[in-house]
Amino acid sequence: MPKTDCGKSLSLMSGGETEKALRFHKSFPQYAETPLVNLSHLAAYFGIKGIYVKDESFRFDLDAFKVLGGSYAIARYIAKTLKKDIAEIDYNTLISDETKQKLGDITFYTATDGNHGRGVAWAANKLRQKSVVLMPKGSSQARLQNILNEGADASITDLNYDDAVRRAGKKAAADSHGVMVQDTAWEGYEEIPGWIMQGYGSMSAETFAQLKAVGVEKPTHIFIQAGVGSLAGSVIGYFANLFPDNPPVMTVVEASAADCLYISNLAGKLVGVKGNLSTIMAGLACGEGNTISWEIIKNYAQFFVSAPDWVASRGMRVLAVPLKGDDKVISGESGAVTAGLVFTLLRDTEYRDLREALGINADSVVLLFSTEGNTDPEKFRDVVWDGEYPSANK
């Protein structure tokens, strides 16, 4: 049962709201369901019923799930501006001359490690609008180039992620035609982040339908990674709405260098992490949590895990080189950390207490989300080919 009332935030991820987002995304000519990979041989190896991985490396040819949130938030903004219901807005409406004329010129601002910014830039490009994308220091040149390829004004700053968000917000506020499209929320900025969370819901809705198609009525365990927590709040909120009386056991996994939600859970309130936030999990290098997703997470996530970099690198290798008979999943650092954690819990005896606390047994069906593919090829080769960040106990 939830610890406190989070009805307003939880209602963001209701079935009706998620269906609106999925209907919108299905109107895109680029739309196709991303695969749900059944790692049946890995599950059998560990003596559990199932391990399923939603592979977002195929999403809209952008190699990551983030575009679902940015595109839907932009659509909701346009619908509100045109005084229309989101049901009246589809892809063709977005890119039409009529919509362009009514909207005039808009510049969409955001900060990103790469995937969210690429999605916003892609959506803005389709709309024939401008985008400005700021990236934190240490960001990958390959990810920067992907954003530039979408026509954005993009650059790597000398700031950490959270400060880059603040700078982007100031730029948007100073631009009379500027709109901030950020995948985190703070006091006074919650509507657009809520729309982004709903856009992510298309991924969860697809996943649930795919599970049912293979005879899985409900996963027993969901492991979901978190940066600011928008994705985690979206996934947890979706499944909490589906199964209000008996939700799956849901675990939030963060990079140890940026584990603001883990620390917030211990503190009993949302607190931040300062510093450089240095981790190979660039998509999770966020020190300040999303206020609206936190309301969901704190009530429905049963476990929080702070994971060092070697957990993510282990997950990348396990997914890229699967057991014979299982399909491979090409997953980047942020996408693979939950797979690395589950593998570690199931194999390494030193983590037996956590595995038992989670209640993982022969009847367990584990659901994971590989949220990005090979978005940083050089880093991917360093990890998978050259063994960078080996497991701590090896």
User: What is the predicted pLDDT for the residue at 4?
Assistant: 52
- Point out which residues pair with 367 in neighbouring strands: 52, 222
pLDDT in tens, 93-122: 989 999 999 999 999 999 998 899 999 999
- In angstroms, the CA 11 to CA 124 distance is 28
User: What is the predicted pLDDT for the residue at 362?
Assistant: 98
- In angstroms, the CA 38 to CA 35 distance is 9
Residue among 113, 162, 326, 376 flagged as catalytic: 113
Tell me whether residue 113 is one of the annotated catalytic residues. yes
User: What is the predicted pLDDT for the residue at 127?
Assistant: 86
- pTM here is 0.95
User: What is the predicted pLDDT for the residue at 9?
Assistant: 85
The 10 Å Cβ neighbour count of residue 268 is: 9
**CATH architecture of the domain covering 7-66+193-384:** 3-Layer(aba) Sandwich (3.40)
User: What is the predicted pLDDT for the residue at 323?
Assistant: 98
User: What is the predicted pLDDT for the residue at 275?
Assistant: 86
pLDDT in tens, 271-322: 999 888 899 999 999 999 999 999 999 999 999 999 999 999 999 999 999 9
Query: What is the 8-class DSSP label of residue 87?
Result: G
Residue 7 banded pLDDT, cuts 50, 70, 90: low
CATH 3.40.50.1100 residue ranges in the chain?
Answer: 7-66+193-384, 67-188
In the sheet with 178-180, reading across from the earlier edge strand, the strands are: 153-156, 130-135, 107-111, 178-180
- In angstroms, the CA 51 to CA 211 distance is 11
Q: What is the CATH number of domain 67-188?
A: 3.40.50.1100
- Please state at what angle helix 191-213 crosses helix 67-81, rounded to 10 degrees: 130
User: What is the predicted pLDDT for the residue at 393?
Assistant: 57
**Is the pLDDT reported for residue 69 higher than 80?**
yes
**Is the pLDDT reported for residue 391 higher than 90?**
no
- Rounded to an integer, the average pLDDT of 261-268 is 97
User: What is the predicted pLDDT for the residue at 1?
Assistant: 40
**Parallel, antiparallel, or unpaired for β 153-156 and 221-225?**
unpaired
Residue among 20, 55, 63, 66 flagged as catalytic: 66
Are the C-beta atoms of 229 and 253 separated by less than 8 Å? no
* Residues listed for the chain: 394
Query: What is the 8-class DSSP label of residue 187?
Result: T
Q: What would the two tokens of residue 230 be? A: 């928008």
pLDDT in tens, 208-245: 999 999 999 999 999 999 999 999 999 999 999 999 99
Contacts 24+ apart (CB under 8 A), 358-363: 358/221, 358/249, 358/251, 358/303, 359/220, 359/221, 359/249, 360/48, 360/221, 361/48, 362/47, 362/48, 362/49, 363/48, 363/49, 363/220
Nearest alpha-carbon partner for 127 in 175, 167, 92: 92
Tell me whether residue 66 is one of the annotated catalytic residues. yes
Sign of CA dihedral 341, 372, 10, 297: positive
pLDDT in tens, 127-166: 889 999 999 999 999 999 999 999 999 999 999 999 999 9
Are the C-beta atoms of 290 and 148 separated by less than 8 Å? no
User: What is the predicted pLDDT for the residue at 2?
Assistant: 45
User: What is the predicted pLDDT for the residue at 5?
Assistant: 54
